[in-house]
Each structure stands twice: as C-alpha cells, then as structure tokens.
Amino acid sequence: MINFIIKRILVSFVVVFLVSLFVFSIMHILPGDPVRLAMGFEATEQDVQRVREQLNLNKPLVEQYVLWIGGLFRGEFGISIAYHRTVAALLQERLPRTINLGIPAMIFAIIVGVGFGIISALWRGKWIDQVITLISTLGAGTPQFWLGIVGIYIFAIGLNWFPMQGYTAPNQDFALYLKKAVMPVFCMAIVMFASLARQTRSSMLEVINQDYIRTARAYGISEFSVIFRHALKNALIPVITIIGLQVRVVIGGSLLVEQVFNIPGIGTMLTSAVSNRDYFVVQSCVLIISLFTVAANLIVDVLYGVFDPRIRLARG
Amino acid sequence: MMQNFNAESFKQFLRVFFGRGILVQISLVIILIFVFSALLAPILTPYTPLEQDLTQMFANPSAAHLLGTDNIGRDFFTRLLYGAQISLVVSLLSSVWAGVVGIILGLIAGYFEGLASSIIMRVIDAQLSIPSLIFSMVLGMVIGQSIPGMAIAIGIGAIPSYTRMVYGMVLSLKHNDYITAAALVGQSETKILLKHLLPNCFAPLIVIFTMSLGTAIMVEAGLAYLGVGIAAPTPAWGVMVSEGYKYLTQHPRLAILPGLCVMLVVVAFNIVGDGLRDALDPRLRGKL
C-alpha cells in the first residue's frame, strides 16, 4: 500500500512538472514582448525594462524557470500587470469565492448524481428511470453559460426568487450567500451530476446481475441490505474514478458560470487575464488549477486502493 | 465486427441502432438539420449575417425576419444558420486533427514500450490535469482567435481521449497470436500497426469521433461566450449568447435561441454516439 501511494505521488509530481513546463513555455512561444504588450505602447522603454528586470525576464530561460518555481514555493506568484497587484494577493482574495461555490457544487453533484443513479438502476425501465436518464442526457450536453442565463431569465427576472448576479461571502451574510449561490452552484454541478448519474446507473446494473448478489438474495437477506451492503459498495468503485475525473470539469465550468453570474473568482480572473494578455496571472492560475485536479486524482486513486484490495495488490 | 463487414452485420447494426428508441431518431434528424443549415445557409436566407438594418432594430419575428432582428438590425435567423456553419467547420476540423494526432500517439505509446510510451502517456496525463476549456483557451491565446486557430486549439484539447483509447486497445491486442505471427513473417512495424492493430480500434474510434464533435461544439461555444474564442461580429453561437445576454429582459430570444441550438446539437451527437457504441460493439458500454 505504501509503495502504491509513493508511486502515485511521484507520478503526480511528474505531471505537475510537465504542466509547469507547458505554461512556462507558452509565454516564450508568444510572438512579441509580453511586458510591452501588457503595459501598452504608451509606456516608456525604461519602465518596460524595469518591469522586465523585476520579473527576471532578462535572465537566461533555465534560470527564469528555476526562479519562477522557487518563487512559487515561497508563495510569490509574480505580479499582475493588468491589476497592478501581486498574483498572490489576487488569489487570496478570489480563490475562496471559487471554492465556496465549487465545493458545494461537487457535493451536490455527488449526492444527487449517485442517488439518482441508484434510483434509476433499481427501477430500470420504469418512468422514473426514463426521466432521470433524460435529465442526465440533457445535462451532459447543456452549455453551462446558457443554463445560467435561462435560470436568470426564469428565476431572477420572471419569478424574482433569486438575485440576478453577484456574490456575497458566507461569513458576511449567510442567507444572502445562499440566495446568490443556488443558481451558480446548480450550473457548475450539472455536468458532473449527469456523468455520475449515468456511471452509477450502469455500474449498479452490472453489479446487480452478478452471482453473489443472486446468492445474497437466495439466502433471504433483505432487499435493503442486498442493495446497500453488498451491491452499492462494489458499484461505487468505478464511480469514484468519475468523481476524480470530473473535478476538472467543475473547475472548467466555473469560468463560464462566474462570467454569467458576474462572480469575481478565479474563473473570471483567468478569463480576463487571457484577454488582457496578463501572462503571469495565466501561468500561475493554470498551474494552481492543475495542482487541484492532480491532488484530487491522487486522493481518488489512494481511496480506490483502500476500497479495492485488488487494485492495491495489482499496482503496488 | 467491422473487419468482417457484411450485409447481415450491417442489418444487425441498423436494428440495434434504431431500436434504441425515438431519441436516436430525433437526434439524427437534428444532426441532419444542423448539417443542412450549415451547408445551405446562403441559399436558405436572403440576408447575410453581417448586414445591418438600423431601421429594424430588435424587430419581432415576422415574414421578412423569421426570428426577428438583433440589436443592430441583423437578421437573427440568418445569424443562427451561419452560426451552424462555424460550429460544423470548427468541430469537424478539430475532431479530424485530434483524431489523426491522437491515434498516431496512441499506436506508438501502446506498441513500443519504454521511454516513448512513458513520455507520451505522462504528457497526456499532464494535459488531462487542466480543464479542456482552459487548455484550449490558453492555446488559443498563442495560436490566434481565427476559425482555424480555434479548431487547432480545441482539437489539441481532444487528443487525450483518442490516445488513451488506442493505447489501451493496442496494449490488450499486441500479445495476440496473429500479431506475433505477422511479426514473425517479417511484416514491418508500420504495417502491423496500421493493418492489424488500427482496424480493431475502428468501432470505438467512430464513437469517440461522434462524441468529440459534440464536445468541440460545446468548447467552441464556451470560448466564444467568454470572448476568448472566435470573436464578434462573426456569428458564432457563443458570441450571440454573450451579445444577447445584455438584452435578456426585453428580448430573451437573442440569448436563449443560440444556446438552445448548441444544446440540441451537442445532445444529439451524444445520443447518436451512445447509439453507435451499443450497435457497433456492446462490450464498449461503460468504457467509453
């Protein structure tokens, strides 16, 4: 088990290293001088040169890379040319907002997605199964930004149940946070919900048809116990993988959802950084996002090993 | 199944594919309408997508303007049709290009163990740690926001699904006797890869290709909506949603209709992909 975890951690490091090379090289592939582009053509040559030195852009490539990574370890992410602030300060301000919506979205997607998947499998072919399958098929193909806009049109403009846009921190005014969070959380969750419902349904159906489930039933074990003690445990193993894979989808979706609901989180910051060519923000944001997904997948893989000794033994 | 392709297996394929219910048939119709609108856009409408008529701003649907006009009097139906054209071009270009690169990488990584394989698969892992929307957005920044540029950027985001599938297939097949036999009689590695291993991936490749058409349309719309993809005034559906959003209260159709088009087409490709998977090879269920 220890071997397996160490191996997985090493692989994660390699992955993060490759991502860091990717985002680092992007800045150097770009035609033109990123500092000049970001500061505009009215900036004087001295100013541009000063910022260039400040950002270590006058040093050789390898040294730049080492300095950048070293800075990351000390919590220095460079400065945002567009916002005139350090990226660290921006992250500190914006990351909690994205997390405060992203985590509830994932929890919602997991509970409802797995729950619907189980219901769907148990009542296979019945109307409830068909309704859930239809919802998850539509959910997987719905553009999240569009869903948000339709939601605003119906629930904010039409029914006036929720505010149209914006974000309030939960520790500031929890009731207002909830009111503003309902629609964005739902939109962020929809894609993950859809794939979890589908995966849970199909792996549940697969498990229910296995011999040991029939044996359990033949022994007269109650249906509740057969489903929740014997079937679900095995059916959930592939579902855990999907949860790991879907973390990146939720993060990607946050870009769209934050834009629709005008939430000043990481997503809107990254989007505007790309349009403003604020490269240092792009670099750090992409690296941090990939750290999140790599960590999520690492946790999922380790959990996988804990839940399923077969995998632990095969991979260890 | 696709290797010994014959009339009987084709009938079987059609039976399973269409036997999946009305949704598959509706989806096929949606895809057909989508493709025809894209191809025939110039014939289907007397207007051009950029032509403004400032006397007709926010006109309601009428005989002259089937779906009305937008904020600067451009015919909305025309813009939707040309939007289909952009979605079709971007999704086809990106999926074909992703398919070619992804298949080659998967064949190499699966057949030749060792350094090449580890490098390819780790790079794919690294790419998968970045959400594909963000990955394509950052690449688009480098490549440029033209239609071909976006197709390349979106296509690169789609490479991993092809590579991983082909890699898995090749790994599981290459120790079969017929591969060993082909190597023993002196067939070249290229020939073994292309003639003996690749055809086995045909069924899952069709499924992945269908699905990736839908995904590409979705990513393209997302990037256009964010303003970092194909930019206004080009009538991409995502651009239209983002422009229409400003007038949501008075003229909801401007934002809602283009998004509805994205949803219908993406869902249709997903349903057809599911149907193809079950009809081509039921064993793939749960894997793709």
Alpha-carbon gap, residue B70 to B84, rounded angstroms: 17
**pLDDT for B2:** 46
- Other beta carbons within 10 angstroms of residue A173's beta carbon come to 12
**pLDDT for B217:** 93
> Please, are residues B75 and B58 in contact by the beta-carbon 8 Å criterion?
no
When scoring A149, A203, A288 by the number of chain B Cβ atoms within 10 A, the one with the most, hence best to mutate, is: A149
> Is A270 inside a domain boundary?
no
For A287, nearest residue in chain B (alpha carbons):
B130
Asked if the model's pLDDT at residue A34 lies above 70, the reply is: no
> Please, are residues A105 and A250 in contact by the beta-carbon 8 Å criterion?
yes
**pLDDT for B287:** 55
**pLDDT for A224:** 80
Alpha-carbon gap, residue B204 to B287, rounded angstroms: 10
Asked if the model's pLDDT at residue B1 lies above 50, the reply is: no
Strand ranges (E), B49-194: none
Rounded mean pLDDT, B233-261: 86
Alpha-carbon gap, residue A190 to A196, rounded angstroms: 10
Alpha-carbon gap, residue B198 to B104, rounded angstroms: 10
**pLDDT for B4:** 53
On average, the pLDDT of chain A sits at: 83
**pLDDT for A312:** 59
> Is A155 inside a domain boundary?
yes
For A253, nearest residue in chain B (alpha carbons):
B133
> Please, are residues B261 and B80 in contact by the beta-carbon 8 Å criterion?
yes
Rounded mean pLDDT, B70-93: 85
How far apart are the CA of A139 and the nearest CA of chain B, in angstroms?
Answer: 9
**pLDDT for A175:** 81
> Please, are residues A27 and A279 in contact by the beta-carbon 8 Å criterion?
yes
Contact A19 B129 (CB under 8 A): yes
How far apart are the CA of B252 and the nearest CA of chain A, in angstroms?
Answer: 8
A47 or A117, greater pLDDT:
A117
- Other beta carbons within 10 angstroms of residue B245's beta carbon come to 22
Residue with tokens 């598959």: B24
Q: How confident is the model at residue B213 (pLDDT cuts 50, 70, 90)?
A: very high
When scoring A137, A153, A274, A278 by the number of chain B Cβ atoms within 10 A, the one with the most, hence best to mutate, is: A274
Query: Which DSSP letter does residue A40 get?
Result: -
pLDDT tens per residue across span A154-186 = 888 888 887 878 788 878 888 888 888 889 999
Rounded mean pLDDT, B137-151: 84
A131 or A237, greater pLDDT:
A131
Asked if the model's pLDDT at residue A308 lies above 80, the reply is: no
CATH number at residue A181: 1.10.3720.10
Rounded mean pLDDT, A172-201: 88
Asked if the model's pLDDT at residue B264 lies above 90, the reply is: yes
The dihedrals phi and psi of B69, each to the nearest 5 degrees, come to -125, 170
Q: Which domain holds residue A189?
A: 96-263
Residues in contact with B200: Cβ distance below 8 Å, sequence separation at least 6, in sequence order: B3, B169, B173
Rounded mean pLDDT, A122-127: 84
Reduced to 3 states, what is the DSSP secondary structure of residue B75? strand
ipTM: 0.84
On average, the pLDDT of chain B sits at: 83
> Is A8 inside a domain boundary?
no
State the total domains in chain A: 1
For B215, nearest residue in chain A (alpha carbons):
A141
Q: Using CB atoms, pick whichever of B130, B245, B256 lies closest to residue A290.
A: B130
> Please, are residues B247 and B58 in contact by the beta-carbon 8 Å criterion?
yes
Nearest to B280 by CA among B228, B217, B209, B220: B209
Alpha-carbon gap, residue B265 to B258, rounded angstroms: 11
How far, CA to CA in Å, does A244 sit from each of A226, A303, A310?
Answer: 27, 10, 19
B39 or B52, greater pLDDT:
B39
Q: Would you state the CATH architecture of domain B67-280?
A: Orthogonal Bundle (1.10)
Contact B263 A138 (CB under 8 A): yes
How far apart are the CA of B286 and the nearest CA of chain A, in angstroms?
Answer: 7
A27-36 long-range Cβ contacts below 8 angstroms, 24+ apart: A27/A279, A27/A283, A28/A61, A29/B142, A30/A279, A30/B141, A30/B142, A34/A277, A34/A279, A35/A81
Contact A248 B130 (CB under 8 A): yes
Q: How confident is the model at residue A316 (pLDDT cuts 50, 70, 90)?
A: very low
> Please, are residues B260 and A146 in contact by the beta-carbon 8 Å criterion?
yes
Q: Report CA Rg, chain B.
A: 22
> Is A314 inside a domain boundary?
no
Residues in contact with B181: Cβ distance below 8 Å, sequence separation at least 6, in sequence order: none
Reduced to 3 states, what is the DSSP secondary structure of residue B227? coil
Rounded mean pLDDT, B35-40: 88
Contact B267 A141 (CB under 8 A): yes
Chain B residues with CB-CB distance to A164 below 8 A: none
> Please, are residues A188 and A250 in contact by the beta-carbon 8 Å criterion?
yes
Handedness of CA A205, A243, B124, B270 (dihedral sign): positive
Chain A residues with CB-CB distance to B150 below 8 A: none
How far apart are the CA of A220 and the nearest CA of chain B, in angstroms?
Answer: 30
Q: Using CB atoms, pick whichever of B133, B238, B259 lies closest to residue A252.
A: B133
How far apart are the CA of B264 and the nearest CA of chain A, in angstroms?
Answer: 8
Kindly report the pTM of this predicted structure.
Answer: 0.87
**pLDDT for A284:** 85
> Is A269 inside a domain boundary?
no
Nearest to B138 by CA among A158, A293, A286: A286
- Other beta carbons within 10 angstroms of residue A277's beta carbon come to 17
> Please, are residues B56 and B70 in contact by the beta-carbon 8 Å criterion?
no
For B267, nearest residue in chain A (alpha carbons):
A141
Chain B residues with CB-CB distance to A14 below 8 A: 122, 126
- The segment with the largest mean pLDDT, out of A97-101, A231-235, B141-145, is A97-101
Beta bridge partners of B69: B75
Domain boundaries, chain B: 67-280
B2 or B187, greater pLDDT:
B187
Residue A29 touches chain B, beta carbons under 8 Å: yes
Query: Which DSSP letter does residue A164 get?
Result: S
Rounded mean pLDDT, B64-74: 74
Q: Report CA Rg, chain A.
A: 24
Alpha-carbon gap, residue A243 to A252, rounded angstroms: 15
Q: Which two tokens stand for residue B142?
A: 């480098």
Q: How confident is the model at residue B21 (pLDDT cuts 50, 70, 90)?
A: confident
- Which amino acid, B203? A
